[in-house]
Structures are given as C-alpha cells and as structure tokens.
Chain A
Amino acid sequence: EPEVTQTPSHQVTQMGQEVILRCVPISNHLYFYWYRQILGQKVEFLVSFYNNEISEKSEIFDDQFSVERPDGSNFTLKIRSTKLEDSAMYFCASSWEDTYEQYFGPGTRLTVT
C-alpha cells in the first residue's frame, strides 16, 4: 500500500539554526500539506500546496517557514531560524483532491535546544 514517508524521524537543532524537513507524498497525489503537533496539543494546520504553489496557510506559517517541491517526489518544509517553541512533531500529508481524505506520514520530531 502506498504511503507518505518523512525524514528524518527525529531532528535536534540549536535555536537560530535552519532545518529542512523532508517528505515524499504518495505518488499520484496532487495536494500536499504540513501540520505540526506540539506535545499534548492538537494537530495544527500549517500550509497546503498545489500545482507548485501555496494554496492556503495558517497564521502559524509566518516568514520563517517556507515550502518547496524541488523535484517530482519530494516536498520540504524549511524553518529558517528555529525557536524553542518550534519544538513539535511535524507531519506531512497528501491527498488526491483538496477536500479528499488525507494520508499522513509518520512525522518528524523536531527538538530545538
């Protein structure tokens, strides 16, 4: 069964450093998403991406965040200058249509020290 994959599974970084989280969505999906979940809190939408551009973003997705689909398979989230409060689990998801069921990757746990 096709699945969304994410790397790395755990990333530790120092405050102020840049990180890139990587995702490989399901191959015939057209819509891609990033979410975060701070420990013990709810899943929060960050951004959706379609046709090589951002289609929607939340208030959390400020200028320190960016997304890219550098080739036909990878979808990345870059956090430019990490803060302690960026520590969370980051999930990538993909779907065939924009309101259709989304399939999530296993997540990257980001720890900012």
Chain B
Amino acid sequence: RKEVEQDPGPFNVPEGATVAFNCTYSNSASQSFFWYRQDCRKEPKLLMSVYSSGNEDGRFTAQLNRASQYISLLIRDSKLSDSATYLCVVFRDDKIIFGKGTRLHILP
C-alpha cells in the first residue's frame, strides 16, 4: 500500500461548483499534513496546512481525521484559475512524502 494515496482524477468540474479531494495515509505516526497545488511544469505551491480542528482559507477548507488517517480539501465556488494538480503532503519522522496528486480541470 502506498504511504500517501490520492485519486489521480482528472476531475472535470464546471465553474462555480464545489469539489472535494481526499487523501489517505498509511502510517499513523505521521505528524504534519499539507495541501499543495502544482500547475503544469511549475513548482508546488503551498495551499494550506491541515489541522485536526479543520481550517478554512477563503473558498478552501481542509480537514484531518487522524482516526481514519484521512485528509480532505474542499474548494467552493470553483474558478477557472483553480485548474491545477492538488498534492497531499505528509511529514513523518523527518520524511516528507508527496501523494501523486489529483488533477482538477474547471470547465467554463
């Protein structure tokens, strides 16, 4: 089983819709969690950290469920500029593990 798993997509979603991404991690000792976005042939850019209490930044909401070893990202009122690959990132014992990412296409 991969340490960090994501649905590869692509998700094709009309502009304005709400989209949700899921990520599961296999090691319960994982310590910190993040969502990054990556545009084609560009560097990953930090989107948000993920906390057990859940956190929100504008249209983006991230949630962590340690019991189920599950992380989610919700994007509300999606925009064309949200089209990108969304990467789930897990820290454990000084190791940083990236998921393969979920591709999102927002359709006009």
Binding site for B on A (CB under 8 A): 33, 35, 41-45, 48, 55-56, 58, 89, 91, 98-107
Contacts and interface: CB of A to CB of B under 8 A. Distances in A.
Nearest to A91: B43
A99 B91 contact: yes
Given A43-B44, A104-B45, A99 B32 contact: yes
A106 B99 CA distance: 19
Q: Is the interface of B mostly helix, strand, loop or mixed?
A: strand
Given A99-B31, A99-B91, A45 B44 contact: no
B85 to A, nearest CB: 10
Contacts, number: 46
Interface in B89-108: 91, 94-101
A48 B96 CA distance: 9
A55 B100 CA distance: 24
Contacts of B42: 106-107
Interface of B: 31-32, 34, 38, 41-46, 49, 87, 91, 94-101
Contacts of B100: 41-42
Nearest to B94: A56
Given A98-B94, A101-B49, A106-B43, 18 more contacts: A33-B96, A42-B87, A42-B99, A42-B101, A43-B38, A43-B44, A44-B98, A45-B97, A45-B98, A56-B94, A56-B95, A89-B41, A102-B46, A103-B46, A104-B43, A104-B44, A104-B45, A107-B42
Nearest to A109: B41
B11 to A, nearest CB: 18
18 contacts: A33-B96, A35-B98, A42-B87, A42-B100, A42-B101, A43-B44, A43-B98, A48-B94, A48-B96, A58-B95, A89-B41, A91-B43, A99-B32, A101-B34, A105-B43, A106-B42, A106-B43, A107-B42
